[in-house]
Amino acid sequence: MLRLPELSDLQVFHTVAQTGSVTLAAKHLHRVQSSVSSRLKVLEEQLGVDLFIRQGKGMQLSPAGERLLGHAEDLLSRAAQAVQVARSDEPCGPLRVGSMESTAAVRLPPLLAQLHRAHPALEIQLATGPSHPLSEQVLAQSLDAAFVAEPPEHPELQRRVLWQERLVLVGTASAPNTLLAFRQGCAYRGVLQRWCQQQTLTPRVIELNSYHAILSCASAGMGLGIVPESVLASYPWRAALHEQALPAAQAQVPTYLVWHAARQHAGVSALLALAERSVTVRSAE
């Protein structure tokens, strides 16, 4: 197995290369000369090459040393940045966010744009899917946070209600025999299926991957779907749809931001603060 050089040895190599002398490098690094010489020897033995041409007390880079120097500078710079990031409370680095399709399409674009402007060092990554799998990914810490409906009760899952979505039935007006829905794990599909049970209906399910597909199939009379009002509001062919109101208790479904209790990610705190602020602004309007 290849043994990688230690950063401290690369620091010694870089300092000797910059000063051209073991004596000057030792003074700069606050080490004794024998320690600097020893670490250089270890590094050269590890790499199997001579990094310097010894000329009396002077040190000149060999061709191998010249090739290594730029990479050493890059690694040392990245290490210093990593230490700075770890010690900083400023949101930075990857932020893995999950979201339901409807939330990603309607609610998130302005919110994520604000987050990027406020914290440009954040690397925002967005994944979409049904609520239950997204919640599981947060618990597994493969996502830092997610926008979901009906998250599971779990001691490690923190949650905050952000807004309410009003759900609307679209499609066949009479007793439907086909449901148009996302795959299992979608909270809104659960609402639709519970409504069917109350109506003593046992329809088959066509699983689709987008709200536009659900709306297109519903407008063609292929079945019954359930869609947030916020998605319907931006659908250009809404007039072609038959809409049916759900009972009030089922129509209003909260959207939560969930995150793992053990992960203190500054990016999640920043996202939550912006989301709550946007909700407050909309309420005031």
CB 10 within 8 A of CB 71: no
Spatial CA neighbour of 19 closest among 70, 57, 48: 57
Average pLDDT of adjacent 10-residue blocks, the chain of 285 residues: 82 93 91 93 93 84 94 88 70 91 94 94 93 95 95 94 95 76 93 90 91 92 92 90 89 95 88 87 49
Residues contacting 2, CB < 8 A, separation 6+:
none
pLDDT, position 201: 86
The pair of structure tokens assigned to 124 is: 């925002």
CB 181 within 8 A of CB 173: no
pLDDT, position 284: 46
Q: What is the pLDDT of residues 137-171, one digit of tens each?
A: 999 999 999 999 999 999 999 999 999 999 999 98
pLDDT, position 58: 76
Q: What is the pLDDT of residues 35-52, one digit of tens each?
A: 999 999 999 999 999 999
Max CA-CA distance within the chain? 97
How far is the C-alpha of 249 from the C-alpha of 244, rounded, in Å?
15
How far is the C-alpha of 126 from the C-alpha of 104, rounded, in Å?
9
Beta strand segments in the chain, E:
52-55, 58-61, 93-99, 122-128, 145-148, 157-171, 178-181, 204-207, 224-228, 243-245, 252-260
